[in-house]
Chain A
Amino acid sequence: MSKPKPKIRKEVVPMRKQDPKERVNNFNEVALGYTEEQAVAEAERCLQCREAQCVKGCPVEVEVPTFINLIRERKFDEAIRKIKEKNSLPAICGRICPQEEQCQANCTLGKVGDPVSVGRLERFVADWERERGYEIPQKSVSTGKKVAIVGAGPAGLTAAADLAKLGHEVVIFEALHKPSGVLIYGIPEFRLPKKIVEAEAEYIEKLGVTIKTNAMIGKLYTLKELLEQFGAVFIGTGAGLPSFMGILGENLCGIYSANEFLIRVNLMKAYAFPEYDTPIYVGEKVAVIGGGNVAMDAARCALRLGAKEVKIVYRRSREEMPARAEEIENAEEEGIVFEFLTNPKRFVGNERNWVKAMECIRMRLGEPDESGRRRPVPIEGSDFIMDVDTVIIAIGRSPNPIIQQTTEGLQVTKWGTIIVDENGKTSLEGVYAGGDIVTGEATVISAMGAGKKAAKAIHEYLMKK
């Protein structure tokens, strides 16, 4: 392989960030984005490979080299248009996609230096457009077909956008009072500002999609009732059920699921209590159980809500942590303490039924388990007590069960995920599904990819009908 020309810099153009000392006192966005000059400089690093590996790594197949080239030429409007041919939520993906595992993973430049920062460039042009007002693509001729989407999360919004662009009438049914699913209730303001999420959801509405909030399918309407009014249905209800550890004392006051903690903080804006009505309790010593992005988010929220000491308690070691490297780094910079190879055994309460301590045991890594990671094994006699007054359990989420429970004939796995074929088709005629409800908890972009694929299949199904 030929070496890159010497004029190409090997190091990524750094992005400005809020100082850790400052940012722990606010909920403003940590990463501040590129300036035009920085974006162009980063775009100039792209080798414009003919066999672009980055495109193959993208679940929605954004034409990465093309949009980067347009940034290099300062044609920002054309660059964002190019991205939006494939991705309707670029300002979100530019911020929270795990680019290091996807588009950037096999970047040719990555073999000799830093890969091109596709995410930061995507974010830059998405923000550039939003600040100037969205361009709304011309509507296709109406097909006269109607599609119902269940759940306004990343999978549902993507499927809705693609189907609306194809000329179908699309109605999204969302159970919460705001659309966007995990983007609005789960991911904190300092990582993904809610005004950006709201703007991208509004963009989807401008494409002609109707979003009906406070509408829980399975309760307000059954899936079968939707099929009476719509030609096809897409289920994108996600993985929203919190897992608990099933250990003694877990229902003591002061113990939250990460979902509850994050819903209070993000969706309900408990950080602005009492201006906003929803309260949250954060003590001085907070323990967050788990090692994923959700654990990092919860820990960093707790710190911003005034905790003196926030510990992440994870049963494996740093190498096995599923969180993005960037998020672990951010958490470390902010002073989050990591207790690796540690697992809680039970929670201890005070006389008012509030948690005051956590009995833990140290772990060592044994043989690899079915996930390929080395299995954590308790070390006998290593028990110790950790004083805590708030605990956040972030050990995963399972599929929302309401649709499955209320729909006869819909085939599901023993984990409660919906069974689909390679195009997202379920066991029921005209019913498609995608995202976490099919795969179990995964990433925003993989859910978007599934929404996209299902939209294509739904379009073909409706046009044949």
Chain B
Amino acid sequence: MKEEATNLYKIVTKRQLVSHINLFEFSAKEIAAKSKPGQFVILKVDEKGERVPVTIAAADVGKGTITLVCHEVGKTTKQLGSLNEGDGILDLLGPLGKPAEIRKFGTVLCVGGGVMVAPLHFQAKAFHEAGNKVIGVIGARTENQLIFEDEMREICNELYVATDDGTKGYKGLDFLKDLFKERKIDRVVAVGPIVMMKTVSEVTRPYGIPTIVNLIPIMVDGMGMCGACRVTVGGKTRFACVDGPDFDGHQVDFEELMARLKMYASEEKLAFVFYEKGGKSL
């Protein structure tokens, strides 16, 4: 029970999936044993680091590892990208948040975008194993940013690909409208950029299909203490870290969420530049 007390959480595998997106397997035996699809961890790279929430993409109880897939978009993810197998991070807390509701619904449509296709796969696999027919939709900005296509194909009864620029598969998510006209879908799960989750929720609303979105707003502690991650759901304030991260997509105030995610946009840029210059004064 004590073996991880003072040790770093080591990277046992690092693999670049596409440019700027890395897959890491961290040695975290205790967390791996408890991780469920839909949950997240909070990581902190070093003493001066920020606490950053990352959705769990896989957990291997036997190996004692959890998998996180990170897109290098800011200081912390860039710093993570500079680490190699054998390196470690100082802090890893989890699993946090409530697990996704996984049971037999019938046909489940799993929609994921960008780096979040990896944690979507964790859920989709669980839906598949629970006896659902799984229809997958995975998207990326452009063809060479698409991840986890093979992994998704393995567990989905059907898989659709979409890109923002149309370089692969459908252009955008408009095709979803036709899909709902043709199919009986019992549940929709959307994991990805806010804009994508909002779009999916709007498409399913007229059909009244339960649509679950996985929200990771800005967090600090990740355990209900700060309220940074508060979101308005059905007119009520909820904390994504403890009340979520899964919520009813038809009830979420996405506009507020988007504004709150941009709260530190200028500071984030500053931290990035500071890091790129080697932590020297600006």
Contacts and interface: CB of A to CB of B under 8 A. Distances in A.
Interface size class of B (residues with CB under 8 A): 35 or more
B67 to A, nearest CB: 18
A281 B267 contact: yes
Query: Most chain-B CB neighbours within 10 Å: which of A214, A246, A278?
Result: A214
A251 B237 CA distance: 8
Interface stretch (B107-115, B152-160, B255-263): B255-263
A230 to B, nearest CB: 10
A281 B264 contact: yes
A175 B274 contact: no
B227 A275 contact: no
Interface in A201-227: 210-216, 219-221
Nearest to A239: B225
B237 A244 contact: yes
Contacts of A352: 259
Contact of A277 (B1, B31, B48): B48
Nearest to A264: B220
A355 to B, nearest CB: 11
Given A171-B2, A279-B264, A400-B224, A214 B76 contact: no
Contacts of A277: 48-50, 75-76, 271
Interface in B193-232: 220-221, 223-228, 230-232
B15 interface: no
B31 A240 contact: no
B22 to A, nearest CB: 19
Interface string B5-38: 1000000000000000000000000110010000
A436 interface: no
A329 B224 CA distance: 32
B1 A229 contact: yes
B102 interface: no
B186 interface: no
B228 A260 contact: yes
A31 B268 CA distance: 35
A273 B267 contact: yes
Contacts of B71: none
Interface residues of A, number: 46
Say what secondary structure dominates the interface of chain B: mixed
A214 B50 CA distance: 14
B232 A251 contact: yes
A364 to B, nearest CB: 30
Given A220-B34, A273-B271, A213 B237 contact: no
Nearest to A173: B1
B51 interface: yes
Contacts of A378: none
A195 to B, nearest CB: 14
Contacts of B93: 175, 177, 214, 216
A44 to B, nearest CB: 44
26 contacts: A175-B93, A175-B221, A212-B1, A212-B4, A212-B5, A214-B93, A219-B95, A220-B31, A220-B95, A229-B1, A240-B224, A251-B260, A254-B263, A257-B226, A263-B225, A268-B220, A273-B267, A277-B76, A277-B271, A278-B50, A279-B271, A353-B255, A400-B224, A401-B224, A401-B242, A402-B224
Given A211-B5, A240-B225, 6 more contacts: A177-B44, A240-B224, A251-B232, A277-B271, A279-B264, A281-B263
